[in-house]
Amino acid sequence: MYEKSYVLYNTTFVTPCGLDSIGPGVLRPASTCHGENTMRLKAFCTAAVLCFLPAITANVGRAQVAPAAYAGGRPIGIGVGFSDYDLDYGPGRRMQGLVVRGGVGLFHGIGIDGNARSIFMNTPSQLTRMQQNTFLGGVYYESASIFRIRPFARFGAGLGTIEFPSHNPAYTRDSYTVLAPSGGLEYPITKKFYVRGEYEYQFWHQYHGPRDLTPQGATLGVTYYLHGMRARTHLLH
């Protein structure tokens, strides 16, 4: 048994001989994990349930006094979307995934929400494994509608987990603190259904060193409001 050194994205690893190298700086683990996709789906579904808790809690307490603009109760939104992200990791860099979101409007466009996102589709061929997941809670502000279009800005914070190529089968994932500002637009299809577009920029704090990992990308989806929405009219409208 002898050892070889490989460079993986500016980091040098010493690995035992016998690992399958599929490209410069990329190593294939000695064994594969069966049922990996099933485990990912279960984790994503669990996160989806957890991110709806703010909406469920607010729904239980909707008997409290609500803003006059929402006669049917607080605006509670539940949404799903498809995301396309730049990974900020290695070659290939772009992957896709899904996001689920639950939010509660509080007062004059200000609200709180939570989302769970998993970027797991179309892993680049140069990477043996890659998945980026975020579980974020945040505060948002929705502007008054302009020609039925409602702009919004959001700031989220929470946990990010990542699976990555590694020469060590026992260390293929890790977790980090994530901050994520974003902004976008919503447009009504019906009283309760809105098309939602959003662009998010993430900061994974001190990823394997002093620099932050900064994935970013766009999401297109739909939001369903349990009580419907009555838009606040902008002066330009």
3-state SS class at 41: helix
Q: Indicate the number of domains in the chain.
A: 1
Element counts in the chain: helices (H) and strands (E)? 2, 13
CATH number, residue 192: 2.40.160.20
3-state SS class at 215: coil
Instruction: Classify residue 111: in a domain, yes or no.
Output: yes
Instruction: Classify residue 101: in a domain, yes or no.
Output: yes
Digits of tens for pLDDT over the chain (237 positions)?
444 333 343 443 333 333 333 333 444 333 344 444 444 555 555 544 444 444 444 444 443 333 333 434 678 999 999 999 999 998 788 999 999 999 999 998 999 999 999 999 999 988 889 999 999 999 999 999 999 999 999 999 999 999 999 999 999 999 999 999 999 999 999 999 999 999 999 999 999 888 999 999 999 999 999 976 655 555 444
Q: Which of 155, 162, 227, 145 is nearest to 198 (CA)?
A: 155
Residue 174 to residue 162: CA distance in whole angstroms = 6
Instruction: Classify residue 233: in a domain, yes or no.
Output: no
Instruction: Classify residue 102: in a domain, yes or no.
Output: yes
Instruction: Classify residue 122: in a domain, yes or no.
Output: yes
Instruction: Classify residue 11: in a domain, yes or no.
Output: yes
Residues 6+ apart with CB under 8 A from 170: none
| The model scores a pTM over 0.85 | no
Contact 194, 81 (CB under 8 A): no
Instruction: Classify residue 168: in a domain, yes or no.
Output: yes
Instruction: Classify residue 55: in a domain, yes or no.
Output: yes
The domain containing residue 42 runs over which residues? Answer: 3-225
